[in-house]
Structure 1
């Protein structure tokens, strides 16, 4: 068991919880994670125990979004799944909770401030929902520029240098 602490980007919300599995090893590419995460085309959740969750700062800044699993279904037949909790000030997603697994919360690894263990292996799921640009199965022979900080040139310049500006 490991106690983890997390926060939103602006610092208005802070929380802590106990985790029996603090390894960020699963990337979900479903449309809900892709649309709400804002990064990578996927979300990485870890597991936490619901009964240990404590919001230590900013309870009044929390709001939840109840994600719809199937928007194409008639409204009265749409199955609602996880509540996704976020900061109303900076919109950082913090954790998800699903009534079907009431004993667990699923904090977003990106919101955790405690140093997390490096996974020995990772899994990607819901790949049939992954967009082509983010699908890890398609990332073969991709040129990767890497920077310790921001590059000295703009995003526009990068596109020009890589003949990607249309």
Structure 2
């Protein structure tokens, strides 16, 4: 069985739960979107099954941000992925993308359930990391773009996928 993850925003106005087969927080994204909406160091997303996402409290406080891609360039556009956040405290909750309607990606920072500490992390989109951003200590793999394994693929490769 997948594991149940329980999460909330910082102020407690929003509480949610979902089922996940890929709940190890191993991949840090340091792109400009993840740094600016998630904090100076970036964001870590987990995997979950969208049909299991249940907002237990605070649906009225959940708002959506569609990121601006290639900002301030002629190629600027608005992403179709939806970053859900609490309108009271601005805590990021999860990302949903209609290209993968069966999935939802909660921010590890919003999860209250205990999470396994990975032996190694992957740092993604290093090509957009400014010099002042420091990477976490410990064993890591760094990638200018995205790691070769998907979220599911990485968990399966490391024996951490929960059926």
- State the TM-score, normalized to the length of structure 2: 0.78
Give me the whole-angstrom Cα distance separating, in 2, the residues matched to 1:116 and 1:87: 22
Give the superposition deviation at 1:78: 1.4
C-alpha deviations, 1:87-124, integer Å up to 9, x for none? 11111111111122221111110100000111122100
The answer on 1:27 being equivalent to 2:28 is: yes
Which position in structure 2 is the counterpart of 1:116?
Answer: 115
Q: SS state of the match for residue 83, structure 2?
A: strand
Runs of at least 5 residues in structure 1 that lack an aligned partner in the other structure: 141-166
Aligned residues: 136
Which secondary structure state, in structure 2, belongs to the residue aligned with residue 51 of structure 1? helix
1:4 is matched with 5
- C-alpha RMSD over aligned residues: 1.8
Q: In structure 1, what is the Cα distance between the partners aligned to 2:57 and 2:38?
A: 22
4+ aligned runs moved over 6 Å, structure 1: none
Question: Are the counterparts in 1 of residues 30 and 129 from structure 2 also a CA contact under 8 Å?
Answer: yes
1:20-99 equivalences under 5 Å are: 20-40=21-41, 42-74=42-74, 78-99=77-98
2:33 and 2:67 in contact (8 A); partners too: yes
- Give the match's secondary structure for 1:102: coil
Counterpart of 1:100 in 2: which secondary structure? coil
1:68–1:81 Cα contact (<8 Å) kept: no
Identify the residue that residue 124 of structure 2 maps to in structure 1.
125
Contact kept in structure 1, 2:8 and 2:93, CA below 8 Å: yes
Preserved contact between residue 69 and residue 81 of structure 1 (Cα < 8 Å): no
- Structure 2 unaligned blocks of 5 or more: 138-163
The structure with the larger Rg is 1
Offset at 1:70?
A: 1.5
Whether the 8 Å contact between 1:5 and 1:113 is mirrored in structure 2 is: yes
Distance 1:74 1:59 in 2: 36
Offset, 1:74: 4.0
**Whole-angstrom CA distance in 2 between matches of 1:99 and 1:63:** 17
